[in-house]
Amino acid sequence: MIFLLMLPFSLLHLLDSDWLIPFITMLVAYPLLSLDQIGVELENPFSTSNLSHLPLDEISADIERDVLSVLKTTQPDAVRPTGNTAGTDR
């Protein structure tokens, strides 16, 4: 931030036209501030307070649904209770 605040003052001595100073400052500031915001987003990707958070609840529900459907198709007796509590053979 200090660099971005001091950049216009240093450009005053380098450039002859004053109207270019805000334009060049914005061209330098945009990538730097964007990179900083990307770092903030990567620190906490599961935060629900941000609009770009990862939908972890939906992803977990989809995985659970898929695993249960695979278990039902491959092992139908292991997933559904048989109702036989006496321990006798079928």
Give me the residue spans of the domains in the chain: 1-43, 53-79
Q: How far is CA 53 from CA 33, 48, 57, in A?
A: 19, 6, 11
pLDDT value at residue 51: 66
pLDDT value at residue 40: 84
The 10 Å Cβ neighbour count of residue 28 is 14
Q: What is the pLDDT of residues 30-71, one digit of tens each?
A: 999 999 988 888 887 777 776 667 778 888 999 999 999 999
